[in-house]
Structure 1
Amino acid sequence: MSASDQEAAEQRVQDAVRRRARTRAFAEAEDVISAVLSDPGVRKARERVEVAETEMGTELRARLQPFQDRYDQAVAEGDADALAGLCGGKHGRWGRICVLPDGHETSMEEPHWGRTGEGRPIAWVGSAPDDW
């Protein structure tokens, strides 16, 4: 085996070890997150947050429903320009997309607002990526 072949083989081994370590670390993190999220106290806190977000969403609906209507129309018409001007705030895991204009947190001083996957109005603070 030549020196370059040996170096390439060593590099493949190192890469495999790194991948294995990363996969194991992610699996361990998922186990910890699952354990935390399954804790009765954490579940109860999440339920209270959902109730508060639903109440706030319902209270804001009268004032913010026109934004939902514009969003629905833009989706139906495929209006990319209208959709591009929307807030990037979302909770993809829970099927929430903020339908307010980009920058609403400072210009309108409103929380994120939209609908749940089931169609209920909801308001929330903060954002999470789609895959979280």
Structure 2
Amino acid sequence: MSTGEHEAGEQRVQDAVRRHARTRAFAEAEDVISAVLSDPGVQEARERVKAAETEMGTELSARLQPFQDRYDQAVAEGDADALAGLCGGKHGPWGRICVLPDGHETSMEEPHWGRNSEGRPIAWVGSAPDDW
């Protein structure tokens, strides 16, 4: 076996070990995350947050519904310019649903607001990462 073949073989072994270690680390992380998310206290907290976001969304509906109407019209008409001016804020479980204009957090001092997948108003603070 030549030196080049030997080095290539070693590199393949090192790559395989790294892939195995990464796969194992992800599996262990998923186990920990599943255990934490299944904890009754975490589930209760999640439900309280969901209820508070729904309540706040409902309270803001009368004032912010025109933004939902403009969003719905822009979607129906395919108005890319109107859609491009919307907030990029995302809600983790439902994705990007904020129908307020970009920068609303400072100019209007409003939380993110839109509708969840069930069509109910929802308001939230913060934004999910792009890879959610």
Q: Distance in 1 between matches of 2:44 and 2:19?
A: 37
**Structure 1 residues 79, 8: CA separation in 2 closer, same or farther (over 3 Å shift)?**
farther
C-alpha RMSD of matched pairs (Å): 1.6
Gaps of 5+ in 1: none
8 Å Cα contact 2:58-2:122 kept in structure 1: yes
Query: Match for residue 12 of structure 1?
Result: 12
Larger displacement relative to structure 2 (31-40 or 12-21): 12-21
Query: Match for residue 38 of structure 2?
Result: 38
Q: Spell out, residue by residue over 1:17-45, the C-alpha distance to the aligned partner (whole angstroms, 9 max, x if none).
A: 11111111111111111111111111111
Gaps of 5+ in 2: none
Per-residue deviation, 1:94: 2.8
8 Å Cα contact 1:92-1:130 kept in structure 2: no
8 Å Cα contact 2:91-2:124 kept in structure 1: no
Per-residue deviation, 1:96: 5.2
> Counterpart of 2:93 in 1: which secondary structure?
helix
Could you tell me which amino acid in structure 2 is paired with residue 72 of structure 1?
Answer: D
Q: Percent identity?
A: 89
Report the TM-score when normalising by structure 2. 0.91
**Structure 1 residues 74, 85: CA separation in 2 closer, same or farther (over 3 Å shift)?**
same
Query: Match for residue 117 of structure 2?
Result: 117
Report the TM-score when normalising by structure 1. 0.91
> Counterpart of 1:122 in 2: which secondary structure?
strand
**Structure 1 residues 13, 49: CA separation in 2 closer, same or farther (over 3 Å shift)?**
same
Q: Spell out, residue by residue over 1:78-113, the C-alpha distance to the aligned partner (whole angstroms, 9 max, x if none).
A: 222221111111124335511111111111111010
Q: Distance in 2 between matches of 1:25 and 1:44?
A: 28
